[in-house]
Structure formats: C-alpha cells, structure tokens
C-alpha cells in the first residue's frame, strides 16, 4: 500500500478509537473560501489587533486541523482540485492536519442537493462507480489528507439518482464502498469520515452505512436546523459511538456573534428565533459560550474526538455593498473589523 507522507503513522495514532484510553482532540476550522478571499487582499487581525496571516492566527490559537471542501469541476475554479491541492500544501507546511471534504459534485452538496458533476451525469452506474474510485484515489494520492470525508451531509445519499439513499440504497452503498476502497488502497493512515447533517434520524442513517468500511461518524449541528437541545446532541453522540463502535466528530457547527450584517448579502442566520435563548445570545460572549459548551460535550462522549467550526473565514470580503459575498459574516471567527473574536480561544483551547 502507498502511505502518504502526511499519514505515515498508523490510523490509530492520528486519533484513537472509542475504546482507547487516550484521545488527540481534532480542533478544526473549515476555511475553504480563504483562497478566494485572499485574492481581495483582505486583512485579518489577531487578538492583539495586529494584522497577521489567517493560518498564523489559527495556529497560535491552538487550531490543529483545517477542513477543506473539494468540488470536481467548479465553474469558477474555487474549491477545485488545483486550488485545494495548492492550499493544502500551504496548510501542511504550517503544521496543520488536513481534513478533506469530497463533495462529489461541481457545487454544494448537502441534504437538499447531491448533483453529480457535469462530466459524470450521463455515465452508466458501473462507469460512475469507477469514476468515484479513480477520482478518490487521485485526490487522496495528491493531497495526502489525514482525514477524508466521503461526501458532504449525505443524509439523502450522493450522486443522485444512482446513489439516492431510499430510491437506490444498494447503489448508494456501492458508491460509498468504492470511495472507501480507494482511500484504503492509497493510504494506510488517512481516516475515513461519513458525514450526516443533524441528530434526528442519525441512527437510521448509520444503520444503513454500517457495512461500509469507515472510521469516524461526522455530524453537523446548527441550532437553526438541528434543534436547540444540547442534551439531545450529547445523547445522540454517545449512542452512535456506543452502537457502532466508532469515533465521533462534530463535522460542522457555528453560531452568530451578532444578528447585524456587514454587507448586502442575505445572512443565513439573522433572527432571534434562530438562536438558543436565553443561554446563548447573538453576542461575542454568546458565541463563545455556545462553542465552549458544544466542544465540552464532545469531550465527554467516550468516542468524541473533535469538532470543526464552519465558515470561520467568511468575513464580508467584497465590501459593504456586495450582494454576492458572505451570508455568514455574523458567524465568522472575526468581527466586522476583521478582529479575532474570543470564540477562537475556546476552539483551540486545552483538553
């Protein structure tokens, strides 16, 4: 087997399994849009108010892993293979681990849309499955990630209609197995994540994928979509880890530090009803408290090995008049002056 240079250790040394006595917590941030934002020469400021490269700020705050999405052939090139390859090399040079989120699409893949890349859309199932294998092998060999996510929020399956979880469950599982086999063949160290959005229905989903060879259960948790009860989150994580004997990560989470906006792009979270109140107001303190409590709950789960904050870089980088920029600047890790928020110290904090 070929083992990538960033994955030289055995799988257990990257993050041990749920029955091991020691855990190396994954403290991750998804900054997939940063290569695009960097083209605008936007500045990020550290906690001291000084301009500093984004990766330096994250490293100094204790972040140890960077999550990057990968699209097959995006229309503008961002999050495509060449950009992700170049940025992943930069990330690794700074000492971070790389968590690769393979969407198997030319654009966003999530519970509501799992469109095959344009070049795969007219393939037979056999050719599609082979394309998944070949593509996965190619990107893992080149990018050498530490963690590989097969699909993104695949509640409804992936590569519809061939991989629809209810209409073609056998095809869905075969596609996942092709991806898993490609990873195992290419790297003995990279750990495989299967990613589900939310907590409701998670046991149903992981029952279905139980035959697939993977290592880590990845859950998205956003209160706006997945409920406002952190106790339910804790219970679900523990049940999944116990039932399936898998490690668990929060693959995506975020929370607003304000309900205001810094550009004319509509924000996804913008109403009081989207919040968990009164515990977590939309304030820097509320954001920090939410992240502190979510990350602490991960640590209390027997198989809980980490978490990832999504969209930490998504400042309003195109300016205050932009209608096509950030829908997330009120949930970024930097305020409207691009100054690091207190939440960063909780994300990168001690065990």
> Hey, which residues does 250 pair with through a beta bridge?
219, 307
Q: Which two tokens stand for residue 323?
A: 């209608």
Greatest distance between any 2 Cα atoms in the chain: 56
Which member of 153, 177, 313, 329 is catalytic?
A: 153
Q: Name the percent of the chain in helix, strand, coil, to the closest 5.
A: 35, 15, 50
153 as an active site residue: the answer is yes
Q: If DSSP codes are grouped into helix, strand and coil, which group holds residue 50?
A: coil
User: Following CA atoms 331, 337, 342, 348 in sequence, which dihedral angle do they give, to the nearest 10 degrees?
Assistant: 70
65: phi then psi, degrees, rounded to nearest 5: -140, 140
Is 252 an annotated catalytic residue? yes
Helices and strands of the chain, counted as H and E runs? 11, 8
Candidates 189, 241, 245; CA nearest to 219 is 241
Phi (first) and psi of residue 294, to 5 degrees: -65, -45
Tell me which of 83, 137, 177, 252 is the catalytic residue.
252
Q: Identify which of 42, 37, 32, 36 has the alpha carbon closest to the alpha carbon of residue 67.
A: 32
DSSP string, 197-229: ESSTTHHHHHHHGGGS---EEEEE--HHHH-S-
Q: Are 247 and 17 in contact (CB under 8 A)?
A: yes
Structure tokens at 17: 């399994």
- Strand segments, DSSP code E, in the chain are 26-30, 65-70, 97-102, 147-150, 191-197, 216-220, 247-253, 304-310
Q: Distance between CA 296 and CA 290 in Å, rounded?
A: 10
Q: How do beta strands 65-70 and 247-253 pair?
A: unpaired
Give the list of residues 6+ apart from residue 122 with CB closer than 8 angstroms, or none. none
- Residues marked active site are found at 153, 252
């Amino acid at each position: 087997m070929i083992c990538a240079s960033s994955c030289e250790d055995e799988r257990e040394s990257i993050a041990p399994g749920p029955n091991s006595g020691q855990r190396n917590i994954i403290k991750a941030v998804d900054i997939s849009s940063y290569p695009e934002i960097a083209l605008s020469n936007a500045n990020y400021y550290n906690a001291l108010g000084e301009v500093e490269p984004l990766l330096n700020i994250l490293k100094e705050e204790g972040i140890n892993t960077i999550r990057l999405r990968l699209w097959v052939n995006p229309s503008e090139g961002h999050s495509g293979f060449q950009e992700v390859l170049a940025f992943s090399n930069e990330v690794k040079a700074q000492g971070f681990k790389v968590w690769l989120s393979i969407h198997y699409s030319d654009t966003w893949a999530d519970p509501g849309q799992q469109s095959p890349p344009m070049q795969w859309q007219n393939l037979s199932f056999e050719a599609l499955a082979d394309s998944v294998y070949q593509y996965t092998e190619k990107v893992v060999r080149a990018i050498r990630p530490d963690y590989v996510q097969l699909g993104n929020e695949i509640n409804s399956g992936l590569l519809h209609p061939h991989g629809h979880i209810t209409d073609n469950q056998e095809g869905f599982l075969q596609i996942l197995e092709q991806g898993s086999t490609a990873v195992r063949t290419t790297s003995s160290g990279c750990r495989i994540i299967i990613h589900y959005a939310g907590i409701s229905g998670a046991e149903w989903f992981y029952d279905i994928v139980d035959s697939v060879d993977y290592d880590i259960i990845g859950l998205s948790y956003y209160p706006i979509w997945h409920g406002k009860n952190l106790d339910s989150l804790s219970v679900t994580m523990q049940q999944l880890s116990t039932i399936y004997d898998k490690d668990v990560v929060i693959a995506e989470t975020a929370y607003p530090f304000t309900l205001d906006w810094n550009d004319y792009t509509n924000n996804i979270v913008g109403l009081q009803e989207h919040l968990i109140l009164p515990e977590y107001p939309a304030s820097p303190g509320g954001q920090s408290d939410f992240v502190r409590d979510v990350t602490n709950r991960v640590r209390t789960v027997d198989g809980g090995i980490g978490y990832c904050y999504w969209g930490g870089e998504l400042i309003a980088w195109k300016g205050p008049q932009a209608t096509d920029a950030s829908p997330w600047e009120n949930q970024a890790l930097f305020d409207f002056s691009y100054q690091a928020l207190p939440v960063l110290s909780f994300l990168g904090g001690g065990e």
